[in-house]
Amino acid sequence: MWYACASFTFDEREFHGRPPPLLQWRRSRQNFVRFVNEALEFRKTHFNDLSIEKFKVSMRFVEEVSPCLEKWIAFALERNVKELSIIAEMKDLIAVAEFFHPFRVPYLLPQAMFATKSIQRLELVFCDLSNVSGSSIQLPFLRNLDMINVHMNDSIFTSILSSSPLLEKINLSLVCGLERIHVTGEKLKMLVVFKCLPLEEVIVKAPNIESFLFRGKRHSLDRIDISSCRKLKFLWLQRASNLTDDTLEKVACLNPNLEK
């Protein structure tokens, strides 16, 4: 029976099969929320002792579903989830949503998410970390971190890095609020920084990093420092205005395994 599975994926789009007509969207969302609530309640009633490997919720966030999301996240955390994905906006609709609804409020994440020792992979889309206290962040087994269209400041990101010594991959795409990114993790293999605002500086001093992908915003003057890297195999840069040809030649010399 699927209720006993170790992996839960609740996707609003898949649930409907196709985007519902605009006038039916509210009712369709209510049906989706009811389905998730009933599924999790059944799991608690009949298989409450089983842990969860993966828990994913993908839906278009509106403030009225915030209590439900918080309850679903708590359900996963209580069962020592290892992979947690909270997608509060369909990824392929982010650009469209920002254009037509620029003042939509992202989902305000609960503090408890960031004090969970079981999480190894964390994916967040259209979420806000304003409620999170840096001093209470504890993610000691986190290996993969994906943040897309997330609101977060430098202090919170630094706290995540310092509490996650096993991080191997970081993806920061369209993150709002970061000014300086400074990564030094021993285990880090891959870093993606894509169109973050109001970013001014990226310093990469992770000794074992192999892949670095960066794209700045148009007309931005981001300062990129990868002079400490020695094991790069893949480097992709766009709108990295401070990196001259001479600088890149030096980087290539210092990283003999870099793809030419």
Q: Which residues contact 116 (CB under 8 A, 6 or more apart)?
A: 77, 81, 138, 139
pLDDT score, position 69: 97
Among the listed residues 146, 114, 144, the one whose alpha carbon sits nearest the alpha carbon of residue 129: 114
pLDDT score, position 96: 45
pLDDT score, position 20: 56
**Structural domain contains residue 24:** yes
pLDDT score, position 104: 62
pLDDT score, position 1: 53
**Structural domain contains residue 176:** no
How many separate domains does the chain show? 1
pLDDT score, position 24: 66
pLDDT score, position 6: 87
pLDDT score, position 18: 64
pLDDT score, position 100: 40
> In the chain, which residues have pLDDT < 70?
1-4, 17-25, 90-104, 219, 221, 260
pLDDT score, position 194: 95
Range of the domain at 114: 1-130
pTM beyond 0.95: no
**Structural domain contains residue 180:** no
Name the strand (E) or helix (H) holding 26.
helix 25-46
Read off the tokens for 125: 């889309």
**Structural domain contains residue 102:** yes
Neighbours of 248 (CB within 10 A): 15
Name the β-bridge partners of 173. 148, 194
pLDDT score, position 102: 46
pLDDT score, position 101: 46
**Structural domain contains residue 212:** no
pLDDT score, position 240: 86
Residue 6 and residue 3: Cα distance in Å, rounded? 9
In which residue are the tokens 């196709």 written? 18
pLDDT score, position 14: 82
